[in-house]
Amino acid sequence: MTQQCDWLLGNLRLATLTDSEIPYGAIEDGAVALAGDRVIYAGPATDMPDLAARRRLDGRGRWATPGLVDCHTHLVYGGSRAPEFEQRLRGASYEEIARAGGGILSTVAATRLAGEDELYTSGRQRLLRLLEEGVTTVEIKSGYGLDLESELKMLRVARRLGEDLPVTVRTTFLGAHALPAEYREPGADAYIDMLCRDMLPEVARQGLADAVDVFCEGVGFSPAQTERVFEAAAAHGLPVKGHVEQLSDLKGAVLAARHRALSVDHLEYLAAADTNVLAEAGTVAVLLPGAFYYLHETRLPPVAALRERGVPMAVATDLNPGTSPMASLLTAMNQACVLFHLTPEEALRGASVNGARALGLDDRGQLVAGQRADLALWDIDSPAELSYGLNYHRPGALFQGGVLQHDH
């Protein structure tokens, strides 16, 4: 009997992003078949099995890519940091502002005050900007609440966004993002005690987080404090990731790799020699060129060493009010090429398959049978165009979980 499928997409060029000698794992004259929320065929049209399709779509020669994955955002928050942007342009550094109680803590104050609906509405606006560019999976961190109720509030908002919009939302508990003002006395160790004893267990109990993150930095938490959070996460069965080596080299990446972190993020100060440990642990290196750009950083992450060791590199927006108010993953891909010297193919893999791996997801990010039916069709001549032009491209058609969102 002829097998049924829900969608047959023909006349496509496929950037499958499989491991292949061929750039982008490209297949000209490609076809894709979807059944339910899965891809059941992606390959040359000529090899396509005989399928009875409920609906068909003419790709008109467009390029199909997997739906994009933004694996690092802080897009739920209250307030704005435009005044701090002005301060920094007058010469104040990010760290000076943070130590004076501004920076992350000013967003904490605004986020604590904001009602859940208000956070939802502003977060939704930012998330919609990402979806317009073909993002079908996004990670959202907490970390602007820094008390139990406010952290739970942020995570509930993130979950609700994923229920209401055509996107998979993965949430990350980032209670160890900054030391809240009320803990300046007794200090960071006391805050981490409370986080491990009260916050993390309750977040885990309510099933509100898929992973746990720590800002390991001079203006954040020490490696010893970071490790305690990682241990608490493991005790609750949650995988970890880390903001590490963004402003200095505290060896946070090595620590995270020892704890089998899904990813280590930022990495401008990562020592080239430490890339070995990441390769062995299978930890993804998440590059965040938006924060590098906004902070006028000059030190580059060790991309050549990461590439040489075969550490998977992801690219994400880091969408946040302080260091990366940038709701555009395609822009992050362009910046990864221009600022960090990634190839456009690395940037695209970084914003799809490797982004998915940074979230512990292996069911998406490539156009192959068995993967989730998240895919975007682009009216471009080659996949490099996605990283080449700024604000040139939007997907002409987008499927999320096998459901056609639009076809222009």
Q: Contact between 268 and Fe ion (CB under 5 A)?
A: no
Q: What's the closest the beta carbon of residue 25 comes to Fe ion, in angstroms?
A: 29
Among 107, 283, 317, 331, binds ligand NIG (CB under 6 A): 107
Q: How far is the CB of 143 from Fe ion (least distance, A)?
A: 8
Contact 170, 138 (CB under 8 A): yes
309 annotated among ligand-binding-site residues: no
Q: Does 346 bind Fe ion (CB under 5 A)?
A: no
Does residue 215 bind ligand NIG (CB under 6 A)?
yes
Closer residue to ligand NIG (CB): 45 or 267: 267
Going by their DSSP bridges, the two strands 135-141 and 168-176 should be labelled as parallel
Q: Is 185 exposed, middle or buried (0-12, 13-18, 19+ CB in 10 A)?
A: exposed
DSSP assignments along 276-309, one per residue: HHHHHHT-EEEE-HHHHHHTT--PPP-HHHHHHH
- Site membership for ligand NIG, residue 291 (CB under 6 A): yes
Q: Where does this chain touch ligand NIG (CB under 6 A) — which range of 132-140, 187-195, 299-307, 314-322? A: 314-322
Cα(299)–Cα(286) distance, rounded to whole angstroms?
Answer: 16
The answer to whether 81 is annotated as binding is: yes
The least distance separating ligand NIG from the CB of residue 232, rounded to whole angstroms, comes to 20
CA 344 to the chain's CA centroid: 18
Tokens of 304: 């050549």
Site string for ligand NIG, 73-102 (x = CB under 6 A): -x----------------------------
Helix, strand and coil in the chain, % to nearest 5: 40, 25, 35
Helix H or strand E segment including 65? strand 63-66
Comparison of 62 and 241: residue with beta carbon closer to ligand NIG: 241
Report the site for ligand NIG in 224-243 (rule: CB under 6 A). 243
Is there binding between residue 16 and ligand NIG (CB under 6 A)? no
Q: What character string, x for contact with Fe ion (CB under 5 A) and - otherwise, covers 317-336?
A: -x------------------
Residue 103 binds ligand NIG, judged by CB under 6 A: yes
DSSP string, 202-254: HHHHTT--SEEEEEESTTSB-HHHHHHHHHHHHHTT--EEEEESSSS--SHHH
Closest C-alpha to 216, from 171, 170, 169, 270: 270
In three-state secondary structure terms, 74 is coil
Report strand pairing: 68-70 vs 63-66.
Answer: unpaired
Nearest residue (CB) to ligand NIG, 216 versus 397: 216
Under the binding rule (CB under 6 A), the answer on residue 122 touching ligand NIG is no
Which single residue brings its beta carbon nearest to ligand NIG? 322
264 lies in the binding site for ligand NIG (CB under 6 A) = no
Go through the chain and tell me how many residues it has. Answer: 408
Interacting residues with ligand NIG between 318 and 357 (CB under 6 A): 318, 320-324
Q: List the binding residues for N-formimidoyl-L-glutamate.
A: 144, 320, 322
Contact footprint for ligand NIG (CB under 6 A): 74, 103-104, 107, 215, 243, 246, 291, 318, 320-324
